[in-house]
Structure 1
């Protein structure tokens, strides 16, 4: 978890926040309780809340977008810097422009067609899905599925970390499913510190694979496990 998420978690624990004028474009919006909506076509500074979701309507622009307990939903043609949440998913529409990275702990991340993420995409317990999207800083997860969808380009590779053993785990752990889709490219190593099921399309290109054996497939979708 990065410093931003840690600081937000501390704010939640303390019950403190610093409020700015939520009605002025280009200004920061900080809350403890309640959601935030960035209106279509408007420009904002940092958007942060502790208990609430954040919606960015079509064409909205913002700097850092952060919450602790809530999801982040963005429409088409949205531009941001870093985007992070602890308990919630992150979902962007088409042609997203993310100058930083995307990060969540308990929740999935999805970026639709034409997206660009300059840095990395990270989850702990959540799936990652990309469609025709470029990622500049790699993909990291622990327990999430990963789909590098058709036409996507990931620089920096893929890293699936070994889960930390905290106490006793009952039953069999779920095995993450990793899919590298048609015409997708992963520049850099694919490192798997735990068991995964890895499918790589015949038209895809990847770096060196460690810790898993790729299963090649043709067609639009990989086989069902």
Structure 2
């Protein structure tokens, strides 16, 4: 049990998800074998739905790892979509490049190497969708830059926001994770209370927060 939902609920939801494509299954198996963290299957399916509905042309991803979610998003986004993804670990980048090249997506996915916040500060483009999946204790630091880079009707999808249930329950918090939990609570507090934003927190996978700008209705 992940601490987010009851185990029987998780298992039932997973049973409803069809087998991944050969491309994703191969990368998924590599990740499990080599203990590389990638998005959970429920989260992957959620991204597929959001991308199919939104059809974003420009996507920004924080946290490339081995390219699993970049490739997933490329498959379901706008046909001419471009993805910019940020990763600091050179070993992860090398593996991601192999996967991206192997599946013919080099022209659609660009990896930027470096500290996530520093890279964010140097970006100028606007994005239709931003997927946060890096530096779990720094989402609140990434947010101002992400909002600067987000198109007016863009969406921010943040993964792992309930962090194994610890964010919602003090009894689950492990001492060495206190800082991450406090900062993730801060992130959720900011996006939930900002009157210019509207956020929904979904207890799926390891917790997903979906944020967009609130439409101002003239009185």
- TM-score of the superposition, structure 1-length normalised? 0.28
The structure number with the bigger radius of gyration is 1
Greater helix proportion: 2
